[in-house]
Chain A
Amino acid sequence: MKKSLISIFVPAVILTVIAFVAGGSGLVMKGFTISMNTALRTALMLFVSFVLIGQLQILITKEVLERLLQKLSGLKGIIIGAIAGGLFPGGPYIYFPFIQSFNNKGMPFYIFITFIFGKNVYDFTRIPMEASLIGPNITLIRNLITLPVPIIAGLIARRFYKNRTIESILMKEGEKHAADNNSS
């Protein structure tokens, strides 16, 4: 979280300085007023979004998803893998270790790809935030348009690596990198 804060704080300061240089304190104040108005307008929605996220985090546990992903294959597996990815709570520091735990369990490579794309594209816990800030109509259009993306990615991966597991394709390189990271 600290890293993310710095990555937003620094550009915010830089742009505030640029606004001051470009248009003086008037332009800076205009920027701050827009920020304040957006914050006030979305405050209640953000509060409700976090209530929702908190409940989802309790309802959807790693164990539930692990059971779901364990014996998947075929088109059904691709669809469930995509949904499981979307349901998985937390950032990449949580879902990568989780999916890595399937490396030596014979999970098909295409299910792994579907899960990763499902997490990236769907991420259901992100939807309240998206609807609050971008607007429900555009959120709906965006989600409908990108709905097939994880499925298509899974089908393409299946077409090329039908009988291959994550282990047989990725593990050597991943292990090498993990080992490199551990040793450094």
Chain B
Amino acid sequence: MLPTTIVLSVIAIILIIVNAKKTGKHYEGLKSGMRLLLQSLPLILCAFILSGMIEVLIPVEFVQNWLSKEAGMKGIFLGSFGGMLLAAGPYAAFPIIAAIMVSGAGLGTVVSLITGWCLLGLSKAPFETAFYGVKFFIYKLIASIPFCLAAGILAHIIEIVLM
């Protein structure tokens, strides 16, 4: 956890310096980031509570049978379509995905879950249909499914071979 924080801090400092030199709006960036953090805080806290409850409620047998490395394709299918139903922004979705991962989900399931959430997530549906129509939304959804499954299968192979 600490190395990630250090890496992120270094990148943040570099961006502040670049912003200060290029635009002179680095304070504005800090303010904007803090404003976003304060706005998102209730959402993040609720997501943490939800993820904690998922972690204690999710039955071990379910994870072993359906989501673990041993579950194979079942976990990848469930991950892809679970991601679609995870209709929430990143501040809420990632703690939930992390809780599923901590419960023992396999890499294939986790990657297909994230990819499913990215590509199939129903939270974007109202915008896609409003701007480009139902037909576009359905075609994009159908076209995206193989990508989620392929990403999950690749991750599953990586887990079997390398981990």
Whether B118 sits at the interface, judged by CB under 8 Å, is: yes
**Which residues in B have their C-beta under 8 angstroms from that of A177?**
129-134
**8 Å CB interface, A43-73 against B:** 44-59
A58, B32: Cβ atoms under 8 Å? yes
B interface size (C-beta, 8 A): 82
Q: How far is the CB of A10 from chain B (nearest CB, A)?
A: 9
A35, B52: Cβ atoms under 8 Å? yes
Known: A8-B47, A38-B98, A55-B16. A174 touches B136 (CB 8 A): yes
**Which residues in B have their C-beta under 8 angstroms from that of A133?**
94-95, 97-98
Number of A-B contacts (CB under 8 A): 246
Known: A19-B57, A54-B30, A54-B36. A92 touches B127 (CB 8 A): yes
B56, A19: Cβ atoms under 8 Å? yes
Which single residue of chain A is at the shortest CB-CB distance from B111?
A142
**Which residues in B have their C-beta under 8 angstroms from that of A80?**
none
**Which residues in A have their C-beta under 8 angstroms from that of B9?**
48
**Which residues in B have their C-beta under 8 angstroms from that of A116?**
140
**Which residues in B have their C-beta under 8 angstroms from that of A41?**
1
Q: How far is the CB of B135 from chain A (nearest CB, A)?
A: 6
**Which residues in A have their C-beta under 8 angstroms from that of B129?**
177
**8 Å CB interface, B15-53 against A:** 15-16, 18-19, 22-23, 25-26, 28-37, 39-40, 42-53
